[in-house]
Structure 1
Amino acid sequence: MPPVWLAGALGLAWWQKTYFSQGLSFGPGFADFFGGIFIGGGLILMALAVHEMRRYHTTIIPHQTASRLVSSGIFKRSRNPIYLGDVMILTGFILYWDAVLALPLIPVFFWILEKRFIEPEEEGLRRKFVADFKRYSQQTRRWL
């Protein structure tokens, strides 16, 4: 489950800032402000996506078969707004905590989401909603 991976990455970032900070910092004010923006933006993206999926009565659980292809609302901008929200939340906490050495967690987490969740889910959607998913994937980017 992606929330478990997010919690693990957040735990590693917190551990790094607490026990292995090495005196590194992003700078005063900058990190707190942008960290808050990323965290808040990620939560908003996730809430909009969950609302849209519930509106269409389809699952938000990874690897379950979707009953409908949702391409409206926030899904017009990103095919994976919940995963994008996860990455934004991780980035925000790394900034907010001044966990400079945890920055490599962001691309690693991004890659894990892509390989373990996004690619298999999109393959399932491609098989179930052949023409609709092809059109949707041509019109809407995977991330942004």
Structure 2
Amino acid sequence: MMRWLDVPPVWLLACAVLAWAQGRFLSLGLGFGGTWAQLLGGLLVGAGLLLMLLAVHELRRQRTTVLPHRTPDRLVQSSIYSRSRNPIYLGDVLLLAGLVLRFDAVLALPLIPILTWVLERRFVIPEENRMRRKYRAEFARYEQKVRRWV
């Protein structure tokens, strides 16, 4: 059961709920300043969702898993994966940043690096270690060619 709860969407949801609660109930009179924050927040949310959709589509097209605790059947290097080794996680971070802006949750800004750290430690590094063991030289070449985040 815990393994199913320990997935990136749950971490993202927890951070988003905390940001919403902070913006709604504990603003302390702090804010980002209106329209520009709403616009930028919307753009970041859209960019994050687009990245995630492109990545999931490519994983499905290549017939491999999207589940973070499993080793993929193929090392996907095409489409969005030619730009970032972790576009879904990057999308999670962009989505949270956009929500923090949209919720006007200034005090929730530290949640962005916290989520990034959690994603990297709990998911990215273990996934890359599994792929490094399975795909060896192919992953080493991919790792040198494509950056982890952007």
Instruction: Tell me the TM-score range normalised by the shorter chain.
Output: over 0.9
SS at match of 1:129: helix
Identity %, equivalent residues: 57
TM-score w.r.t. length of structure 2: 0.95
SS at match of 2:85: coil
What is the distance in 2 between the residues matched to 1:15 and 1:96?
12
Instruction: Tell me the residue number matched to 1:92.
Output: 98
Give runs of ≥4 in structure 1 deviating > 6 Å. none
Instruction: Tell me the residue number matched to 2:76.
Output: 70
Shift of 1:18: 1.0
Query: Where do 1:27-66 residues align within 5 Å?
Result: 27-66=33-72
What runs of 5+ residues in structure 2 fail to find an aligned partner?
Answer: 1-6
CA RMSD after TM alignment: 0.5
1:108 maps to a residue whose letter is: I
Query: Where do 1:7-18 residues align within 5 Å?
Result: 7-18=13-24
Report the more deviating stretch, 112-121 or 16-25.
16-25
CA deviation profile, 1:92-118 (whole Å, cap 9, x unmatched): 000011100000000000000000000
CA deviation profile, 1:16-48 (whole Å, cap 9, x unmatched): 011100011111211100000000000000000
What runs of 5+ residues in structure 1 fail to find an aligned partner?
Answer: none
Instruction: Tell me the residue number matched to 1:20.
Output: 26
TM-score w.r.t. length of structure 1: 0.99
Shift of 1:119: 0.1
2:79 maps to a residue whose letter is: G
Instruction: Tell me the residue number matched to 2:123.
Output: 117
SS at match of 2:84: coil
What is the distance in 2 between the residues matched to 1:41 and 1:19?
27
What is the distance in 2 between the residues matched to 1:98 and 1:62?
31
